[in-house]
Amino acid sequence: MLKGRQRHDWSIASSCLSVIANLHRDPKRTRALKPSDFDPFAKRQRPISVPVSVLKDVFIDGKVPDLPKEAHG
């Protein structure tokens, strides 16, 4: 129950922090910040690493590649 309360409190706090940070940022120099950038409970997505040959399959041959297991969830 405590963990759920902490997640709830951090979701509210991180939303407020992202609004404040976006108000004071220079849009020409930095990207817009999201609440997940401030939330310690937010899961970070790792980029999927695939070989360059997949680009050829998708964009030239029009095939849909088989994604690695880690990409499905």
Higher pLDDT, 56 or 21: 21
Distance between the two ends of the chain, CA-based, in angstroms? 26
39: pLDDT strictly greater than 70: yes
CA atoms within 13 A on the CB side of 3: 1
Q: What mean pLDDT do residues 17-28 have?
A: 94
Read off the pTM.
0.57
How does the average pLDDT of the chain come out, rounded?
85
Instruction: Give the separation between CA 69 and CA 50, rounded to whole angstroms.
Output: 12
What value, to the nearest 5°, has the Cα angle with vertex 58 and ends 54 and 63? 105
Domain ranges of the chain: 2-72
pLDDT of residue 72: 52
